[in-house]
Amino acid sequence: MLKGFARGSADFEVNDHRTTCHALPVVHAENRLAFEAANKDDVHVRAFRRQSFQGATLASILDTVPGSIRMFTTADIAAAVLAYLIGSLSFAVIVSRALGLPDPHSYGSGNPGATNVLRSGSKKAALLTLLGDTLKGVAAVLLAKAFATQFGITVNGIALIAVTVFLGHLFPLFFGFKGGKGVATAAGVLWALDWRVGLGLTAIWALVFAVTRVSSLSALIGSAAAPVLGYVFFGNGAVFYATLVMAALLFWRHKENIRRLASGEEAAFKKR
């Protein structure tokens, strides 16, 4: 409460508290008068919506967004774009070309992943594909963590990076957006986010595969477990929702496998 100057014999007081939820008159461009309830956040949001961003940079646009609705910093978005490019390195194609093998899109399931590359008869190529697809997920997240303080990458940014490196594998920019199903890359991402989640999901995958010898079923059960472990170790935050998004995309990419599993047509690896 601020004291005013005396006028005559009376003092007056000014209440400096912000208006919270009162109807205020608003005059629109067409001279139409209306009354709108306004509070601090609403005023900020309206101001943001009415600004012109012609010729503005991404950083300047983000700076105008009220903190209450801003989810990502400029550094978050830049790092997410880089993560997508890392994810776009399809090691099934890269390794196959390097070893003189057929394009993995041209045989088997047509999926550029380690399981399909194994159908080429080259265990070496399959192993290198598995390592490459896993490590790119690890690299994207660990690099973001390592440089988070230096560049201002937030927790929300880490979650976004986890999803975008995964999307890069599914829809690789460098290979006509024809990517794999994402199991290895998702595993790498989860290992990098928290080794306990990665270890738990790897154990689930290995156990199911040892019993069933069906790779797709192992991947689907592991995918279903990912958000559960994510919630346990990450809580109800951005990283948990990243695991939920990846799990949903994994199920979507395995829709044909789900159909074959339901009809009993899905092939299993034979024990040797």
Contact 136, 188 (CB under 8 A): yes
What pLDDT, on the 0 to 100 scale, is given for residue 7?
Answer: 43
Q: Is 246 exposed, middle or buried (CB count within 10 Å of its CB: 0-12, 13-18, 19+)?
A: buried
pLDDT exceeds 50 at position 166: yes
**Mean pLDDT, rounded, for 84-103:** 95
How many CB atoms lie under 10 A from the CB of residue 161? 31
CA atoms within 13 A on the CB side of 20: 2
If you average pLDDT over every residue of the chain, what do you get? Answer: 82
Task: Note if the pTM is more than 0.85.
Answer: no
DSSP string, 30-55: TS-EEEEEE-HHHHHHHHHHH---TT
Residue 88 DSSP one-character state: T
Instruction: Report residue 36: phi and psi, to 5°.
Output: -130, 140
**Residue 183 structure tokens:** 């199991």
Q: With residue 172 as reference, give the H or E element that holds it.
A: none
Percent of the chain surpassing pLDDT 70: 73
Q: In this predicted structure, which of 51-60, 68-77, 257-266 has the lowest mean pLDDT? A: 51-60
Give 109-128 pLDDT, tens digit per residue.
Answer: 888 989 889 888 889 999 99
**Mean pLDDT, rounded, for 221-226:** 95
Per-range mean pLDDT, top range of 46-55, 119-128, 241-250: 241-250
More confident residue, 58 or 160: 160
